[in-house]
Amino acid sequence: MDIHEYQAKEILSGFGVPVPRGGLAYSPEQAAYRAREIGGDAWVVKAQIHSGGRGKAGGVKVCQDEHQVYDAADELFGKRLVTHQTGPKGKVVYRVYVEGAALIEREIYLGFVLDRKTERVMVVASAAGGMEIEEISATRPDSIIRSVIEPAVGIRDFQVREVAFKLGLKPAQITQAVNTIKGCYRAFRELDATMVEINPLVVTSDDAIVALDAKMTFDDNALFRHPSVSELRDKSQEDPRESQAADRGLSYVGLDGKIGCIVNGAGLAMATMDMIELAGGKPANFLDIGGGASPERVAKAFRLVMSDGDVEAILVNIFAGINRCDWVAEGIIQALEANPVNVPVIVRLAGTHVEEGRKILSKSGLPIIRAATLKEAAERAVAAWKNDSKHNVKMVASS
């Protein structure tokens, strides 16, 4: 789960990380009022969306007076920002964050991530802040500093000081950097985060270290332990299909293909998507309905997949271990009878009671295309999709 910049700053501030004074606004009038509250002679108005690269997309504006703050907020509200992370559809701005402008002397990148290779939390830092980490890695790879944290003892002071010294900070700034890095790690560990990123972490003209921007991502599976974090979820920033799936206990990721996938097990779902690609098609989604593929869950999955108007075929690939293929077959039939679909449906069943499941499908009388293997299922799904697409094109042309 992602959260907004202002929410991440509020959390990190509670762990001792210094952040600029700011305030949230839901209207241009409120934005101007926030500027008066903050004081000073310059402010920054930031669009609050779940994406990096907001500045390049026009989502960050520096203002010199309250009128400029009002105008900047007025321009941002309702605007659809398109960044390299949002995709072509972009994300709509419903709130802005106003904070006092800082006199920046230098910018630093600081991040905490789960490193899959070492199975540890890793500190990633660079003296080349203000750029995306991918850009830093491509243009200045030598500037990237990495330090692995041993989970048994946590982050140690010598590790933090080593990172601070490698960043080229002055002696007067080392203590501030140590407290900031340790505060970020505590927030990461105690709140079950999967990513904490401050970019940029700036050194101001008076030698203060301040988190000018902040991002945090949390482990969905641990949110039950942190209700205060769970409440920060903003569904307006999520794909509505993914949000709907999460609320129903399904794992769903929307893609840009035409063949919808209903699969049990994440590994099998990935293999199914790969086979569709190899057969010449493109998956419309990743959907893992889990091990308990009950009729109700199958019906929910069908409704979810068909809510995507771009889906032109559905491939159901179930390997029944704890589950049973005959139960799954009954669920598929119930789902199709209750909610008929107007696209080809391809079903491949394997595992426990597979023969019984195949008999149920064959006796149903429904136009289900059956397959015995995953390769066969993918090929038949792509062929059915192409044939159905050609038929639809002819129908449109003739009408």
Active site residues: 109, 197
Q: Any known ligand binding at 190?
A: no
Q: Any known ligand binding at 179?
A: no
Structure tokens at 307: 């809510």
* H or E, element range at 395: helix 374-398
Q: Any known ligand binding at 46?
A: yes
By the 8 A CB rule, do 203 and 108 touch?
yes
Q: Any known ligand binding at 365?
A: no
In this structure, how many other beta carbons lie within 10 angstroms of the beta carbon of residue 301? 30
Buried b / exposed e over 307-344, threshold 16 CB at 10 Å, is: ebeebbbbbbbbbbeebbbbbbbbbbbebbeeeebebb
Q: Any known ligand binding at 309?
A: no
Q: Any known ligand binding at 102?
A: yes
Give how far Cα 254 sits from Cα of 114, 261, 287, 386, Å: 24, 10, 9, 21
Q: How many residues does the chain have?
A: 399
Q: Any known ligand binding at 55?
A: yes
Q: Any known ligand binding at 274?
A: no
Instruction: Report d(CA 108, CA 127) in Å as an integer.
Output: 5
Q: Any known ligand binding at 99?
A: yes
DSSP 372: S
Structure tokens at 61: 């504006």
Q: Any known ligand binding at 21?
A: no
Residue list for the binding site for substrate: 264
Residue list for the binding site: 46, 53-55, 99, 102, 107, 199, 213, 264
Residue list for the binding site for Mg(2+): 199, 213
Residue list for the binding site for ATP: 46, 53-55, 99, 102, 107
